[in-house]
Amino acid sequence: MTYLIIFLGLLPGFTWLLFYLQEEIHPEPKKMIAMVFLAGAFSAIVALLIQLLFGCAFVYHFGDCSRTITEGIPGTPIVLLAFIAVEEIAKFAAAYLVVAKSKYFDAPVDAMIYMVVAALGFATVENLAALYSSGTSVLLNDIFEIATFRLVGTTLLHTLASAIMGYFWAIGIRNFKNKFFILHGLFVAVALHAAFNYLILVEARSLYPIALLATVGFFILGDFDKLKREKI
Does some domain include residue 59?
yes
Helix residue spans in the chain (DSSP H): 2-21, 30-54, 67-70, 77-99, 108-133, 140-149, 155-174, 180-202, 208-227
pLDDT at site 155: 84
With CA atoms as reference, report the closest residue to 161 among 137, 130, 129, 196: 196
Q: What pTM was estimated for this model as a whole?
A: 0.82
Return the pLDDT at 78.
80
Residue 232 belongs to some domain of the structure: no
Reference 44, options 168, 153, 102, 128; nearest CA is: 128
**Cα-to-chain-centroid distance, residue 168:** 16
For the ranges 39-43, 95-99, 104-108, 225-229, which has the lowest average pLDDT? 225-229
Q: Is residue 139 part of a domain?
A: yes
Domain assignment of residue 129, yes or no: yes
**Residue 209, in any domain of the structure:** yes
Mean pLDDT of 93-111: 89
pLDDT at 45 over 80: yes
Number of domains in the chain: 1
Q: Do the Cβ atoms of 94 and 42 come closer than 8 Å?
A: yes
Per the CB < 8 A criterion, the answer to whether 150 and 12 are in contact is yes
Q: Where are the alpha helices (DSSP H) in 55-139?
A: 67-70, 77-99, 108-133
Residue 116 has a pLDDT of 92
List the domain range (segments joined by +) for residue 13.
2-227
Residue 104 confidence (pLDDT) above 50:
yes
DSSP state of 65: T
Q: In the prediction, which pLDDT does 139 show?
A: 47
Which has the closest alpha carbon to 26: 99, 107, 119?
107
Q: What percent of the chain has pLDDT over 70?
A: 66
| 56 DSSP 8-state letter | I
207 vs 219, higher pLDDT: 219
128-178 per-position pLDDT tens digit: 877 666 555 444 455 555 555 555 678 888 999 999 999 999 888 877 566
Residue 35 lies in a domain: yes
Higher pLDDT, 222 or 32: 32
Per-residue pLDDT band for 185 (boundaries 50, 70, 90) equals very high
- pLDDT tens for residues 78-100? 878 888 999 999 999 999 999 98
Q: Mention every residue, 6+ apart, whose C-beta is less than 8 A from residue 31.
A: none
Q: Could you give the 3-state DSSP secondary structure of residue 29?
A: coil
